[in-house]
Structure 1
Amino acid sequence: MKFKPLLYTAAAIGAIAAAVTFGLQDTPEQTSTVDTSAAQALLEGSMKKLIFHPAPKPAGTADFTTFDGDPLNLSQWQGKWTVVNFWATWCAPCRKEMPMLAELQTEYGGETFEVVTIATTRNPPQAMQAFFEEINVTNLPLHRDPGSALAREMAVLGLPVTVILNPDGQEIARLSGDADWASASAKAMIEALLASN
């Protein structure tokens, strides 16, 4: 029958579409629709404050700077899972959680994951350096958002605020306040995200 090839082609297209819909086939477009339910299920203790969005959201596009004033943009971390932490030198909870974020960077930082720290509002560079020296953090960046342009665009209200960006550069989750980012729960959640694409 001359309609058989057409029927098989239609069936194959339907099967591929179903596979993509249900996460059975890995495609480049799938990154932005990664199922985060496994990662969410691993949240315990203070990590329960991490809220996963029903769908990925655009991240901020405003530039911020390196410690020396060179321009940066969150788009430069596309291709990696990125934990972006907004902090300030005067923020006591930031002092508490920063070493935990440093531990996360030590354990997982590399080609597929990175912790990016951004001091927002007024933070004198010398005070930023002293802050990291006092808490013995040496592996996180001293990036600055002095005019709070990126923080305002991303609706950062209060500090610290930590967002997770997927490899497409979209925000998939947000945590307001401090949390134990070095906990078994946090690490299991990161591992689940890294394994999802």
Structure 2
Amino acid sequence: MPPPRPAKTRRIPIAIGAVVAAGVVGIGLFYGLGGFKRASRDPTCTAAVELARKIGPLAHGEVAALTMATTPLRLPDLAFDDAEGKPRKLSEWRGKTVLVNLWATWCVPCRKEMPALESLQTKLGGKDFEVVAINIDTRDAEKPKNFLKEANLTRLGYFADQKAKVFQDLKNVGKALGMPTSVLIDTQGCEIATLAGPAEWASEDAIKLIKAAMQPMKAGS
């Protein structure tokens, strides 16, 4: 006698769920998946969301993977060290548009992305914009410094967090899903856009979008 039909149909959602789960795990293995949490709203960051909406059409080509902010979010005041071991905080860059980037030498896409970040800093870095690239290698503190030196990447400031707490802090607000992670923030430390994975930051597409993100500050200065 064949089994009842309901017993057969109940297995279908389970199978579909397994496929979806396998896909999520696959993405995690490629980028080093973190966790998913809902970020709390910060009404003082509504201007950044409006800016994200305005420049959203520029997120194409080499920066098509950018996720534009739709919820007002102020980033945590990330804490890390500079090249001399001096404690620094992200809030020190208030007043500038900033591209925060988390990278590590064990992350192949991160290493490939670094020359583009160097070029972006060379082209736009100054009083209005800066790339803040934070290394999260947790073992050999000299390895990332040597990597930058050997690759002749001299325009990027060296920042590091050997405890990788900066990744956890961004993960806790749903903005670090893997490595590399980049977050474009406005002059008040509010999210404009986030990207999980690498991008060609020195491209015309990226330059145009970041220049557009800087316009409100220039207009008001």
TM-score with structure 2 setting the length: 0.71
Matches within 5 A, 1:54-69: 54-69=70-85
Q: Secondary structure at the match of 1:55?
A: coil
2:195 aligned with 1:175:
yes
- The verdict on how the C-alpha distance between 1:186 and 1:159 changes in structure 2, with shifts beyond 3 A counting, is same
The equivalent of 1:151 in structure 2 is 167
Q: Distance in 2 between matches of 1:188 and 1:165?
A: 16
Q: Distance in 1 between matches of 2:63 and 2:122?
A: 19
RMSD: 2.0
Q: Distance in 1 between matches of 2:195 and 2:49?
A: 20
The equivalent of 1:193 in structure 2 is 213
Q: Structure 1 stretches of 5 or more lacking a match?
A: 1-28
Q: Distance in 2 between matches of 1:135 and 1:47?
A: 24
Q: Distance in 1 between matches of 2:103 and 2:178?
A: 9
2:132 aligned with 1:116:
yes
Count residues with an aligned counterpart: 170
Answer whether contact 1:34 1:196 (CA < 8 A) is retained: no
2:124 aligned with 1:104:
no
Q: Distance in 1 between matches of 2:124 and 2:139?
A: 28
| Percent sequence identity over aligned pairs | 36
Q: Secondary structure at the match of 1:181?
A: coil
2:155 aligned with 1:139:
yes
Q: Distance in 2 between matches of 1:124 and 1:141?
A: 18
Answer whether contact 1:31 1:167 (CA < 8 A) is retained: no
2:60 aligned with 1:44:
yes
Post-superposition offset of 1:34: 4.4
- The verdict on how the C-alpha distance between 1:37 and 1:30 changes in structure 2, with shifts beyond 3 A counting, is closer
Answer whether contact 2:182 2:195 (CA < 8 A) is retained: yes
Post-superposition offset of 1:66: 1.2
Post-superposition offset of 1:61: 2.2
Post-superposition offset of 1:109: 0.7
Deviation digits for residues 20-74 of structure 1, max 9, x if unmatched? xxxxxxxxx9854542234221122231111111133121224211122211111
2:109 aligned with 1:93:
yes
Q: Distance in 1 between matches of 2:139 and 2:54?
A: 37
1:178 maps to a residue whose letter is P
The equivalent of 1:8 in structure 2 is none
TM-score with structure 1 setting the length: 0.79
2:90 aligned with 1:74:
yes
- The verdict on how the C-alpha distance between 1:41 and 1:88 changes in structure 2, with shifts beyond 3 A counting, is same
Q: Distance in 2 between matches of 1:154 and 1:94?
A: 17
- The verdict on how the C-alpha distance between 1:126 and 1:71 changes in structure 2, with shifts beyond 3 A counting, is same
Q: Distance in 1 between matches of 2:48 and 2:183?
A: 15
2:69 maps to a residue whose letter is H
Q: Distance in 1 between matches of 2:130 and 2:72?
A: 19
